[in-house]
Amino acid sequence: MGPARPRAPGGWTGGQYSLVRVLAGATFAAGFAGALLGEPPPGIRLWLRHAEAVFAASCAAGLLASVAFASGWHDRMAAVVLAASVGLRLAADSEALGLGGAWVFVFLSAHLFVRSAPYGSIEALGRADPRGGWTTPAPVRTAAWLALAAGNAVAAWAGAPHGASRMWVPFAILPFAGAHGPEWTPSGLGLALCGAALHRWLRPWAWCALLALTCAWGLARGTFPLGPLLLLALALEPHWVAPRPLPSSSVLFYDGACGLCHRAVRFVLAEEQEPGGLRFAPLQGATFRRLLNEKGRHGLPDSLVLLERGSPVRLRSEAVMRLLEHCGGLWRLLALLGRLVPVRLRDALYDGVARVRHRLFPPPQDWCPVAPEFLRARFER
């Protein structure tokens, strides 16, 4: 097998998509748990026999499906169960899922067309190739933009933030500053932004503007805009946040006897946007002794050690931050947030995990992580 091929521009990595799936599943689970513990909506008793029992069963099924969806275990079947449970909740209470409740269905429907077993899902555990050739189909991103545009068009045509139009889209409704005018007036700004997204150079800015409008509308109404945020997640193209590549001579040294370190290496192999020149070697191997003399090795912690040309040796959390920047996309944004945390606090957290890693992760059988042949060529002893 030849070298790994670059991803198509705009494609999600499996880990980034799994991050979105986990957050969505957790949000679903919190909503169903709250509904299960609370009182059934009064409206459900008007049209359903044994309404309370059916509603409780639906929320319990939705809660279990949310956990399966978040973990990536039979997530397509879980999406179908979630859609049915969400439908019953919306029928009982149209405000149950906040703004854009109908768009939750679009997100769950789109998930059915996404390739299964991305990196970060239970179904991908034990796979030799951590990436597995996974990417999101371009039509899924296109469908998300079309759904956003359709919702804006419906709300602009309806002309008022009431009833179903408010459930369809927050983007077309903006606050009116006039003291004697209507409280809310329709606007075509959201639809115009979706139109601007047709141009690939304007698409990132249109996406950011739509995200800002979504958050502003949610804050103004005191409601979490779950549906629009999920569609915006599908429309996002992570390559907008370009990776900060490592020089071709860079080497990541890891503890060959540490299961967590092996997983960190597999994470990089799965999540880097473009296969780069980064190589890997165990701390116990000859490459480590060859590239770092005894003075350079003295005092180094049992940690990830990143050797990058023209830069000091990076250890602990600093090595993690640099690897996240190398992966790009959402991981680089996470590194940007991580750098706001003081280094001492980051390193303390890193050391705390390091102290218990051998109890949490079983030791590997070999110094090299599980990887197919075309990836093992990037490893040195």
pLDDT of residue 188: 66
Q: What is the pLDDT of residue 174?
A: 37
Of 29, 120, 134, the residue nearest 73 (C-alpha): 120
Q: Which residues contact 147 (CB under 8 A, 6 or more apart)?
A: 103, 106, 231
Task: Encode pLDDT of 9-39 as tens digits.
Answer: 457 899 999 999 999 999 999 988 988 887 7
Longest dimension (CA), the chain: 78
What pLDDT is recorded for position 271?
93
Residues 361-378 have pLDDT tens digits of 888 888 788 888 888 888
Given a cut of 60, whether residue 318 has pLDDT beyond it is yes
CA distances from 165 to 100, 157, 172 (A): 9, 9, 10
Per-residue pLDDT at 175: 35
Both structure tokens of 193: 């932004």
The structure tokens listed for 70 are 């978040």
Q: Where are the alpha helices (DSSP H) in the chain?
A: 14-37, 51-71, 75-92, 101-111, 138-158, 163-168, 189-196, 203-221, 226-235, 259-271, 286-291, 294-297, 316-327, 330-338, 343-360, 373-376
Global pTM value: 0.85
pLDDT in tens, 157-187: 665 444 433 433 343 333 333 333 333 333 4
Contacts of 106 (CB under 8 A, 6+ apart): 143, 144, 147, 227, 231
What distance in Å separates the CA atoms of residue 339 and residue 333, rounded to the nearest whole number?
Answer: 10
